[in-house]
Structure 1
Amino acid sequence: MRYGVVVEEFAVEVMAQLPDNRARKEVLALVEVARMDPRAWPDVRDPGSVEEIREAFGRQRWIHLMPHAGAVEVRDIGWAG
């Protein structure tokens, strides 16, 4: 965990496939914004799920995250750039 962020293996793989450093920086900036207030983003969990899944999004990127006490777990990353 770094700065209250845990990144799942799948999300790490997606980050490695982003087209350039600009894309990585934009995704990491979104992670930081979401970490500061994860519950400000919509809850997108499946009906009946006990895991709280939030979706944070920017112009060309999105992440799925799970809030934990003082931290977030990044489950998935998307890039449309």
Structure 2
Amino acid sequence: MHRHGMVFEELAIEVMAELPTDEARREVLELIELVGADPWAWPDVRDPGSVEEIREAFGARCWFQYTPHNGAIEVREIGWAD
């Protein structure tokens, strides 16, 4: 799945489809858009020695992991807390 400046991994697409409400999907997408505006403002959580940059962002009830790529972000995983 592609949105402007965003690429979603298969697992992230599955989680988005399983979110409980439209409001939940909206909250996740708003956080993703916020991160897309400044992807390096969020913490790098990659394992020591890993060359692939992985960052995490947290909202009120959601979080996601992503990798910044030349002005875009690749959404790797999404989580939701009820």
Structure-1-length-normalised TM-score:
0.97
Separation in 2, partners of 1:4, 1:59? 23
Amino acid at match of 2:69: H
| Equivalent position of 1:42 in the other structure | 43
| Equivalent position of 1:79 in the other structure | 80
Separation in 1, partners of 2:47, 2:60? 24
TM-superposed deviation, 1:39: 0.4
Secondary structure, aligned partner of 2:68: strand
How many residue pairs match? The answer is 81
Separation in 2, partners of 1:6, 1:72? 6
Query: Unpaired runs of 5+ in structure 1?
Result: none
Secondary structure, aligned partner of 2:46: coil
Separation in 2, partners of 1:34, 1:61? 13
TM-superposed deviation, 1:65: 0.4
Separation in 2, partners of 1:10, 1:23? 17
Amino acid at match of 1:67: P
| Equivalent position of 2:7 in the other structure | 6
Identity %: 64
Query: Unpaired runs of 5+ in structure 2?
Result: none
Moved over 3 A (4+): none
TM-superposed deviation, 1:47: 1.1
Taking only aligned residues, the RMSD between alpha carbons, in angstroms, comes to: 0.7
Structure-2-length-normalised TM-score:
0.95
